[in-house]
Amino acid sequence: MKNKLFIPILSLALVCVCGWGYSQYQAKRQWEINAENQYQRAFEELTGHVNNLETQLTKSLVAASVPQFIRLMTDGWREANSCQEDIGQLPLTSLDLSRTKTFLASAGTFCLNTAQNQLADDSRLNKAQWDTIRKFRNQCRTVTENLQNLREEFYNKRAQWLEVDRLGTLSAAAPALNENKVTKAFLMLEDGLRRVPDIEFEGNNLDLVPKPTGLTGQNITAQEAVNKSKQILGPDYSKARFKYSRIIKGDFPSHLVTAYDPDKREPCQVSVSVKGGHLVWMLTDREVPKKNLNLDQCEAKAKSFFQQREYPPMEVVSREESDNVAILSMAPRRNDVLKYPELIKCQVAQDNGEVLGVDAVSYLTFNDPNAPQQKKPGYTETQIRKNLNPNLKVARIQKAEVLNEMYNKVPCYEVEGTEGTDRFLIYYNAETGKEEKIRRTDENGNEIQ
């Protein structure tokens, strides 16, 4: 009897296993088809957007009217941005395509800057600017030709993106990357762009790194960094054991110190600049289980923290909440001017008001103790009010300092106002009266994109 039941059961089990295996195979096959289609779609869009970019640049060389030229440059900027998004969707992370990506970013920046400059000043471009457009057009034409050739590989020789994806996941696949049709084509494109010189143009801030002006004083030792960390954390860490970790390399080197307090579950890490021993950042990575304090109370805690450490008066310019932690962006005010470039970000726990994190990189980069006193602005607040859109209901106008695209400080008037239920911060150049920037924000100052 048992033998009679065993064979049917075994057969049924075999059928079930085969059915499950076939369903898994079908599911995997469907996933591969979907993945290949998505990669192919991204590649087709990349090819189309690069071709469109080349077309806009070529048309701009013969445009006679300023409005038409601005439209072509603006469209070129959009196409360049789309190219960068498309290339990010392809399984090419294992390839060094830095020159290709830099070219696309530079082309987009150039198109946008040129359009903005023409909008502000409709004078004709000089010879150097026309030559720059031609250089971008010529390099873009090279990229287009390479992509079109690769496109033919897909249709005629049935190259597959999934093969590229698999190679990217293998640690020992470097030699195969040079043999694969797709990766080889992109490597040849990259090599071709590396053989031509960089295109230089005014307003190119891709590689611009501002020189920090807030690092004052002599270089400090590891022991001095530990002592500075004790001063920064203050009496809340009077029982803590401080351990020096290492030097962090970067735009400006810093010492990393860790504080272990027996009364606290998580250690606190402090980064202190090698030059001068200034606080670069600090972080305590602990969970905040409950919310006892609102944003106003956390704001008061943050201001007290910086006041006790002899920072200039800080004002909160934006604030938000996340996982029972208040995230505050603060800027100093000097001579009645709000200094946005010197922004400090601060995290405050909403259970007990502890300052969990500080990011002072921007403050150290743009704070300049030796900066000359600002001269009297060329425009008055009364003159600025005459330039405002009548639809804007003005709540406040104050002096502020912002950064332009070249990281230069620009004295401005910050106009806070509303249109209906929407809140705006609009910045007017205090020297020229030009409208520099418009930000749409919520009631807490956070920008709405």
Q: What is the CATH number of the domain that holds 428?
A: 3.10.450
For residues 172 and 39, membership in a common domain is answered with yes
Number of separate domains in the chain: 3
Q: Is residue 203 part of a domain?
A: no
* Residue 27 pLDDT: 53
pLDDT tens track for 117-138: 887 776 678 888 899 999 999 9
* Residue 36 pLDDT: 73
Place of tokens 């995230």: 327
Range of the domain at 293: 222-366
SS (H, E, C) 15-31: HHHHHHHHHHHHHHHHH
- Domain's final residue, options 332, 366, 400: 366
For residues 362 and 392, membership in a common domain is answered with no
CB neighbour burial string for 179-191, b if at least 16 within 10 angstroms, e if fewer = ebebbebbbebbe
| 314 neighbors 344 (Cβ within 8 angstroms) | yes
For residues 59 and 161, membership in a common domain is answered with yes
**Distance (Å, rounded) from C-alpha 395 to C-alpha 399?**
14
Q: Is residue 230 part of a domain?
A: yes
For residues 157 and 247, membership in a common domain is answered with no
* Residue 309 pLDDT: 92
For residues 182 and 45, membership in a common domain is answered with yes
- Domain's final residue, options 338, 366, 394: 366
Q: What is the CATH number of the domain that holds 48?
A: 1.20.58
Place of tokens 């735009």: 251
What Cα–Cα distance (Å) separates residue 268 from each residue in 193, 237, 320? Answer: 46, 9, 23
For residues 314 and 401, membership in a common domain is answered with no
* Residue 171 pLDDT: 42
Q: Is residue 37 part of a domain?
A: yes
Q: Is residue 8 part of a domain?
A: no
For residues 188 and 228, membership in a common domain is answered with no
What Cα–Cα distance (Å) separates residue 86 from each residue in 82, 90, 353, 393? Answer: 6, 7, 44, 41
* Residue 220 pLDDT: 95
What is the distance in angstroms between the CA of the first residue and the CA of the last residue of the chain?
Answer: 74
For residues 232 and 339, membership in a common domain is answered with yes
Q: pTM of the full predicted structure?
A: 0.67
For residues 410 and 357, membership in a common domain is answered with no
* Residue 40 pLDDT: 82
For residues 36 and 177, membership in a common domain is answered with yes
Q: Is residue 394 part of a domain?
A: yes
Instruction: Calculate what percentage of the chain has a pLDDT beyond 90.
Output: 47
For residues 346 and 399, membership in a common domain is answered with no
Q: Is residue 17 part of a domain?
A: no
For residues 184 and 288, membership in a common domain is answered with no
Q: Is residue 213 part of a domain?
A: no
* Residue 240 pLDDT: 93
54: amino acid identity, one letter: E
Q: What are the φ and ψ backbone dihedral angles of 345, each rounded to 5 degrees?
A: -100, 135
- Domain's final residue, options 177, 194, 211: 194
Positions of the chain with pLDDT under 70: 1-33, 35, 122-123, 155-159, 165-179, 203-209, 405-406, 449
Q: Is residue 449 part of a domain?
A: no
Q: Calculate the CA 199 to chain-centre distance.
A: 23
